A and B are shown apart, each in its own frame.
Chain A
């Protein structure tokens, strides 16, 4: 009960801090909009077949969701950790009953809400501007997609906390998160189909946590294949990243 109230207090403060930064709010939600407008509307399929974006529109829903699931928590939590450290906030928090895991949980919940809203925006835009006949978006599937999103956000919040704890500044966090996120995004079965990559490289895609998110959401909403294993792996990775991220959150030094 007391842990709940502590997490609520931290999450409330973090939510206020986010929604009152108008630029951050604008670009957080403009990002998925511009993404869909570019890749789902402007980029044309190769008329001869093959190439990028040659699959039906529904194939790419996991990719669009992956963008916000990956980038937003990674950079937000990473830079928040760096900002907290620079402002000696962790030093103060270390003398309160709030634990590091509770702190990270609170910020994860805020990110789940933010990315949940961004995800709904993506779904709405896809329905509005693309042919979504191939998507299975019933209420049960939407709920399961929400579970995938929440678990993946927890994973990348943990990853962000690791980056924020290891990088020495906010600039360092941003540079590191971009360097990590871009390859992950394009090598995790999101926008680039595995057959476009060399055969020798394909097993390496299994090393990316984002792969299990993309596969699972695609199985759930597009191909109808079983998604349980992907959710299980994703959840296990989320627990691991969250635990390591929480443990690394600094106190002072």
Chain B
């Protein structure tokens, strides 16, 4: 596969803030490459450096073997983040306007139909719904039938139905051979659309690879969550009260736990004890326990063991690791920018030794 985009050691600072700290990546012809990371990770700065709309402090970018600013404009399309197109124009006028800027442009009506706005084409942009607005904006990036399409958070603020419609559109473009570089903080979006994903945190690429490979390498193992607590609000309150009392009381060990908490804890202990006979790694949590590395065909064995010991449980949840786990593992926080990761299980214990260091590929 020929690389249509190659970036090497990109660095960009704004004052004291390093937006990009040595990012290197390449994107192949016809590939869908997703940059994933929380707000402030450097995604938009990277897109701007790749499209030539910002000059990196150091490093180089080649797009179709040219500098980004020297690339034939006919070949690239861009949907900027937080894009607010000229006001007081209808969706049709907006698409027609951007089409008018190119020597060769697609039929605006075909674009409007493709992004699912044909029926609202005569509606002014400001009167469209958020999803329709974003789809119109995506349409403006397609007017020149680009070979390389940059979409900076194309589905942010779009409702689930609109998001799925945009996903189908991007998939169709990819099927037709368009190279797509998109940014998102939705892991599901990256996992569904991207051939390869770049996980960006603090201006550095933490890892690059196919979603499957990244999950296999960094996602950790499957988890079977056994909830021995009933998980109700009342039970949560009781647990919180017990915890507060324990903190306030100098002699915490003498504090009596509520019955439900005590029974849940006892059930968890019993379950953990029961599973010591298996070869699974078990971790006790507030609501029960987590059994790591359980394959789908082994779930019955775990359930059977619990039943044999008479352990009561409220719910069983089996989850496979996904990109979110990879991101947590490699960066210590979630891709939506929320807090530090809770370290659960062996997956979080491993050193990210196989992660990409300093954005290298």
Contact = CB atoms under 8 A, between A and B. Distances in A.
A and B, one complex?
A: yes
Interface of A: 2, 5-6, 8-10, 12-14, 16-17, 20-21, 86-89, 91-98, 251-253
B24 to A, nearest CB: 22
Contacts of A14: 86
Interface stretch (B94-102, B110-118, B349-357): B94-102
A20 B101 CA distance: 22
Given A252-B53, A252-B54, A2 B103 contact: yes
Q: Label chain A's interface by main secondary structure.
A: helix
B88 A16 contact: yes
A89 B85 contact: yes
B74 interface: yes
Interface string B272-311: 0000000000000000000000000000000000000000
30 contacts: A2-B103, A6-B101, A9-B96, A9-B100, A10-B97, A12-B97, A16-B88, A16-B93, A20-B88, A21-B88, A88-B80, A88-B81, A88-B83, A91-B48, A91-B78, A91-B80, A92-B80, A92-B85, A94-B51, A95-B51, A95-B52, A95-B53, A95-B76, A95-B77, A96-B98, A96-B101, A97-B101, A251-B54, A252-B53, A252-B54
B77 A97 contact: no
Contacts of A2: 103
Interface of B: 48, 51-54, 73-74, 76-89, 93-94, 96-103, 140-141, 144, 150
B100 A87 contact: no
Nearest to B48: A252
Contact of A96 (B48, B73, B93): B73
B39 to A, nearest CB: 16
A86 to B, nearest CB: 7
Contacts of B103: 2, 97
A208 B86 CA distance: 33
B92 to A, nearest CB: 12
A5 B86 contact: no
A6 B100 contact: yes
A100 to B, nearest CB: 12
A248 B48 CA distance: 18
A123 B3 CA distance: 63
A252 B102 CA distance: 21
- In the A-B complex, the 10 residue pairs with the smallest Cβ-Cβ separation, listed nearest first, are A9-B100, A87-B84, A20-B88, A88-B80, A95-B78, A13-B97, A96-B101, A91-B80, A97-B73, A252-B53
A89 B86 contact: yes
A98 B140 CA distance: 14
Contact of A91 (B53, B74, B77, B97): B53
Nearest to A20: B88
Contacts of A12: 97, 100
A86 B85 CA distance: 10
A95 B150 CA distance: 10
Contacts of B73: 95-97
Nearest to A86: B84
A104 to B, nearest CB: 15
B102 A97 contact: yes
A9 B82 contact: no
A234 to B, nearest CB: 30
Contact of A89 (B83, B99, B144): B83
Contacts of B144: 96
B83 A87 contact: yes
Contacts of A20: 88
A25 B140 CA distance: 28
Contact of A94 (B53, B86, B100): B53
Given A12-B100, A89-B85, A98-B101, 11 more contacts: A2-B103, A8-B100, A13-B94, A17-B87, A21-B87, A88-B81, A91-B80, A92-B83, A95-B77, A97-B73, A97-B74
A20 B88 CA distance: 6
Contacts of A94: 51-53
A99 to B, nearest CB: 10
Nearest to B100: A9
B75 to A, nearest CB: 10
